[in-house]
Structure 1
Amino acid sequence: MKIEILVAAHKKFPMPEVEGYLPVLVGAKKNYKPDIPYQRDDEGENISAKNPNYNELTAIYWAWKNLKNVDAVGLVHYRRLFFEKKPYNLNNAISVEKVQKLLQEYDVLLPKKRNYYIETNYSHYIHAHHKEPLDKTREIIKKSYPAYLKAFDKVMKSKKAHMFNMFIMKSRAFDSYCTFMFGILSKLENEIDISDYSVQEARVFGYISELLMDVWLYTTNESYKEIPWGQIGSKHLVKKAISFVNRKFGIGKRQTHF
């Protein structure tokens, strides 16, 4: 199998130096520097200019439209990867040989679900972000993708989800996923006004896409397996915990956008 695992990055950073990994510079026009030798996301058919709103999805879109003759496509992040074993460092990043063996049995490889414990995916999202885009997403699915509505409501009520836009998929599944995800996001762009969103909140389409993974997965019934993942460097867990509590109880909560 020919496998390409994209490593999305906005700057130069140590990368896995093994076969099958393709570093991709996202937001390439803005982030390019002569010493960054990565594949740019602004070549061929692309949405690189939307990177401030789409995050790592611009790398996924580039792969969807431009990678040819591949059997499987994956996406990881420059600091967040799939691993074969601990310790989580570049030397232990999952090998394409291991991926190939897993894809003999499964169509999709994903990180272990994130568990929010005391919140549903819906309540967690609206405590952290503007509510309108997620509600609009449901309207779009109900109108244009009704076969996915049951799964969407299931995901919203669940306290767990496959997050981070990390995956490795057979090419057929990858095409199906991208067709669904980018189809919804292109409609959502026309339904919401993000002109007064903060820089952080303007990344809305990237945030929404994380919740679309399981909506697609549960509707299409692709076979999948969860594999170990980890993050290189500090996770800032204490800061994240404080931020979560503040959002949950409305401390310093920003105004909802309409």
Structure 2
Amino acid sequence: MDTRMYIMAHKKFQVPDKNGYIPLQVGSALNEDLGYQKDDTGIQISAKNKTYCELTGMYWIWKNIQCDNVGICHYRRYFVQDELLTIEYMEQCLKKYDIIVPDSGMTMYENVYKHYENRHKIKDLNICGEVLLQKYPKDYAAFKWSLERNFMSLGNMVITSKTLYDEYCSWLFDILFEVEKRINIENYDDYQKRVFGFLSERLFRTWLLNRPLKVREERVLFIDEQ
């Protein structure tokens, strides 16, 4: 079975010595070659990295990679138990579950909506909801419900079959590309310009909630590497 764990990175880092872990340089169209697989080949949106963050790598995998299972982690964030999850563990787990996601985080604000309002531009989240309602009305109730709770799934990390991954990406990018047409980020600072990465983290939980999936949560380790 062909199972791959792609590590999203925009800078040099210590690549784990683990079978199946593949570093992927995101935003490679905008930066010098790091010597990793780049996301600016084939069908790609690499030049959008400053606003789409790791999603440019996710898009590249969606459009250009054929495999059985695919995972997404980051150069500083990994799925772990006692150690980084092995490919063998992922494959065994996916025999029982449809998808592996990070364990849920909890915002200290009243709910996810208030968290976004305090950290980002709330009008962007509202516009995202409008687009979702127009394009995927059956998912809108799950979107509203998730925003009214205080559990979050951050990082755009996932392990699942490539078939299910492709289904998610088709849904996600259809929404985000329309949101991109409706918001003006010209005067945003560099952090807030990462808006599509922020929105996707809220959309991921919406997508999970409204599909009949067996979900497995795994712990995420943050490596404080500069």
| Bin for the TM-score computed over the shorter chain | over 0.9
Tell me what 2:32 maps to.
32
Output one character per residue of 1:37-91: Cα deviation in whole Å (capped at 9) or x when no partner: 21000011000000000000001000000001x1111110001101121xxxxxx
Give the residue type in structure 2 aligned to 1:47. Answer: I
Equivalent residue in structure 2 for 1:46, among 44, 47, 65: 44
1:57 aligned residue:
55
Q: Is the 8 A contact 2:77 2:220 kept in 1?
A: yes
Q: Aligned pair 1:136/2:127, yes or no?
A: yes
Runs of 4+ in 1 over 2 A off after TM superposition: 29-33
- What runs of 5+ residues in structure 1 fail to find an aligned partner? 86-91, 236-258
Secondary structure in structure 2 of the residue aligned to 1:208: helix
How many Å apart are 1:116 and its aligned residue? 1.1
Q: Aligned partners of 2:108 and 2:189: how far apart in 1?
A: 28
TM-score by length of 1: 0.85
1:209 aligns to 2:216 (yes or no) = no
1:26 shift after superposition: 0.7
Select 1:218's aligned residue among 204, 209, 221.
209
> 1:137 touches 1:188 (CA, 8 Å); kept in 2?
yes
Q: Distance in 1 between matches of 2:32 and 2:100?
A: 30
Q: Find the partner of 1:96 among 87, 106, 111.
A: 87
Instruction: Name the SS for the 1:31 alignment partner.
Output: coil
Report matched runs for 1:120-159 at 5 Å. 120-159=111-150
**Distance in 2 between the 1:107 and 1:32 partners?**
37
Distance 2:171 2:37 in 1: 25
Cα deviation 1:116-167 (Å, max 9, x = unaligned): 1442110000100011110001111111110100100111101002211011
**Greater CA radius of gyration, 1 or 2?**
1
Identity of aligned residues (%): 35
| Letter of the structure 2 residue corresponding to residue 138 of structure 1 | G
Is contact 1:25-1:32 (8 Å) kept? no
TM-score normalised over the length of structure 2:
0.97
- Structure 1 residue 77 corresponds to structure 2 residue 77: no
- The count of aligned residue pairs is 226
Shift of 1:183: 0.6
Residue 6 of structure 2 corresponds to 6
* CA positional deviation for 1:234: 6.9
Q: Which amino acid aligns with 2:202?
A: L
Residues 25 and 31 of structure 1 are in contact (CA less than 8 Å); yes or no, is this contact kept in structure 2? Answer: no
SS in 2 for 1:127: helix
What letter is aligned with 1:83? V
